[in-house]
Chain A
Amino acid sequence: MDSRATVSDPNRKGHPTREQCASGDPEPTAARTSEATRTVCCDQAIFTSLPSCMGSGYRIVAASRGLRPAQRQEITSRSPSHGGLCDESPTAMAVTYYPLSDGRFGIAHTCTAGVEHTGRGGQTVYTRVVVVPSDGFALFADNPFNVVRAMERSGVTAADLKPTAVLPQLELSPLTRDAADVTERTLRPPGSAEVAAWRAQLLRVLAGLMDGEALVVALDHAGLALAEALIMALPARLRRSISFSTGLRFSSARATKLNCVCGDLARTRELLRGHPVVWLDLRATPQDSQAAKGPTNRDPLTPADSPPRRQGTPTASSSRSGTQPAATPNAWLQIVDRRWSQGRCADILTLTQRNFGDASPAVCDRVGRICLDLDALAAADLGGTIELLRRYIAVVGETDVEFELVENLLLTGQRRLSEQVMTAPPHEAIETHGESVVNLALDSPEAAALLMPACARLLRRTCAHDIVLAAHWGAAVAANAIPRQISAAPEALSDILSAVLAALPRLSGEQAAALRDELSEWSFVPQIRDRLAEVQGAVDERLRHSGDQTTESMEVAS
């Protein structure tokens, strides 16, 4: 089942109307999609330091009524306070994302809001948190950055230093730019050596996220686009569960899985001590790193026992002792790498929106392998096509995405096989792989249903080259496909019989004898019983004629 929820009926009980949304009417679940307008109503909160009659210092200074104490508590513990931004400049910004305990999702945009009002130095850190319901989040393609873009369009990312204590719910339009653009621009040019080396590091980050590791990625900048490229390369189900921050200083208290940091990295590394967090330094460009000395970093696409990558690439280390990347490469990472390098980021996004079940590394690996095999199928010769079809003919996808991809692979393989059995050279199509095609088509009812058209085409082509072999394979088809009522089989057998009749005058007695033996195996094919009897009679006649000629020849010779 698709993980994306359907758009809710706005008039259904429990779903507020647009008017309710704008007026800030309390709605316990804050659900909130409107099919007519395709807008999503979200709760919101402002977390900053403002003096008021209720207190001072960093706290939730304003919030909509749909936020319960438990969610306010979570927002408080996840929001940055004084000095929380990596960049101290007035234009600094950060994005944070985290799933909330009530099933909704918190997306926070953080910026500065002038100097700290107590006069104790630094900028006031201002965070606007939007809480998106699960069904609404699907309309944003499960992409927190799409929510941020919608916030920017709504004008709520600018600091409001005089908010009312009770905010109305926020109505956001999920019609946003495709994240594939962001990814492609981030990884441009896809074919360059620098980007290729950097991409390997990004895949290391993805591998860590898929394995549930907490990661701190050191960058030269806030890394908003990079974070989006990374997050959107994960299945939607998985990325919903991965909290991240980008542009914020690392804090274990926020418990985010992915932390893109810049600025005072030495201090960040100090903070990591004793925490099970993996540190990845992605600042160095490949050219810079050629001369650098430091620990090597294993390519995530290379098994652990493979030779290490060249020295000096951006470094990875772990504050957790014994942390090693997975021993076997995850095929999902391979397909992500391939699509990134091909500039086909949209394909990855489309794929990640499908239902990956629990989106475990094992599922991702299986999906990646199917995708790799689909790629291989596009370039496979006849033998390769047969091998891939053999591998998948009995596979039933455990998840929706696997099921769809396997179906796609089999249908593509079927078309390709039908084409190749006719276009491949005869020795390859018939002598080398012909028997494999027939055997594969007869392997199971499912295989017969899928591959009998290709098999029939092969049989027809074989008639022109070796009628006895065609009859032999026809016997196998008759024995298997006819009882299973495969529709294409009787037609193919009928074609062989026609070919036999046409070829009979040219056959030697020995070939005719062989044909008679093969056709005797076809006797139980009800659809062609009469036609078979006719052909068998013709063959017998041919054999008798051949026998008379032989006797005459022997007499003449004696």
Chain B
Amino acid sequence: MALIHDSVAQCREPRIISVIGDSNVGKTVYLGLLLDMLARRAGDFEAIPKGGYSVFLQQNVVGHLANRVFPPKTPMEADQWYWAYYQIAYRSKNAGWFDLIMPDMAGEALAAEVDAPRTYGVIRSLLHKAEGAILLVDAAVAAQGSAQPDFFALKLMSYLDNMFAVKRTEKVRTPVAVVLCKADCCPQAFDDPRIFAQTNMNRLWNICDSRFHNVEFFASSMVGSLGYVAHAPEHIVSVPLHAAPRGIVEPFEWILAQL
């Protein structure tokens, strides 16, 4: 409600950028660090949170990482999600302000909606109104040979294609930034994200090539190094020893440039 109130007060149509991806891929951490970096004027941006609720997410992520734990899982219930509403502008360019809304959606809810459309009406509505999407895929898992990230990304892109495509012969023009997350575990993703995606997530690569006009690939990592704690033989917990964000702002910057 606060978000709607703030949005109306701006007298400007807000633009929605969706951060989407599988469960446990790192959406919350990515979005929290992105907002924190924007608030700290990274990349020549100036970002102003509209309302205290917009700061909760970055505070949650930064606070947890500072304590060397990952933030808790995002619940599937949409009313428990963090929503961030920011006014953003380039400081050096006189390009005007964007009103951006970025919800931190649960990966499970996305998966449920993709598997059975209209399970989560709020997700469908958000994606339908989104002017750009940042698709996070787990590069570390993909690099180990698992097809799971590729399949999930394929399903998501297919969902977006069905939603946005006007004609089957025309490609979707909505900009989509594919972010290869956890690239600190597979540094080759930083070298050439396109080649990495083409090699390790060929299904995703192909659908992007066939159906999307405006796709770019990026690599990113959030933590500098990980430790592992074994509470029990089957319960090993990864510990973020320190935050070292890399490749966080670039996808966002690219999306803004496409709007």
Contacts and interface: CB of A to CB of B under 8 A. Distances in A.
A115 B80 CA distance: 20
Interface stretch (A80-88, A188-196, A384-392, A406-414): A80-88
Nearest to B81: A253
Given A76-B116, A115-B235, A117-B235, A82 B75 contact: yes
Interface of A: 49, 53, 55-59, 69, 72-73, 76-77, 80-84, 114-122, 249, 251-254, 271, 273-274
A84 B75 contact: yes
Interface centre among A72, A115, A120, A251 (most CB of B within 10 A): A120
B111 interface: yes
Interface of B: 1, 22-24, 69-80, 106-108, 111-112, 116, 118-120, 122, 148, 152, 231, 235-238
B108 A81 contact: yes
Contacts of A49: 23, 73, 108
A25 to B, nearest CB: 24
Contacts, number: 100
A108 to B, nearest CB: 14
A245 B148 CA distance: 34
24 contacts: A55-B152, A56-B23, A57-B24, A59-B108, A59-B111, A59-B112, A73-B112, A77-B119, A81-B75, A81-B108, A82-B75, A84-B75, A84-B77, A115-B231, A115-B235, A118-B73, A120-B70, A121-B69, A121-B72, A121-B73, A122-B72, A251-B77, A253-B77, A253-B79
Contact of A81 (B106, B116, B236): B106
B107 to A, nearest CB: 5
Interface centre among A76, A80, A83 (most CB of B within 10 A): A76
Nearest to A275: B79
Q: Rank and list the top 7 A-B pairs by shortest CB-CB distance, nearest first.
A: A57-B23, A119-B237, A81-B76, A251-B77, A274-B1, A57-B108, A82-B73
- Majority SS of interface residues in chain A? loop
A72 B116 contact: yes
A116 B236 CA distance: 11
- Majority SS of interface residues in chain B? loop
A290 B14 CA distance: 49
A274 B23 CA distance: 29
Contacts of B23: 49, 55-58
B49 to A, nearest CB: 18
Contacts of A253: 76-79, 120, 122
Contacts of B76: 58, 81-82, 253
Contact of A273 (B1, B71, B235, B237): B1
Nearest to B72: A121
Contacts of B235: 114-115, 117, 119
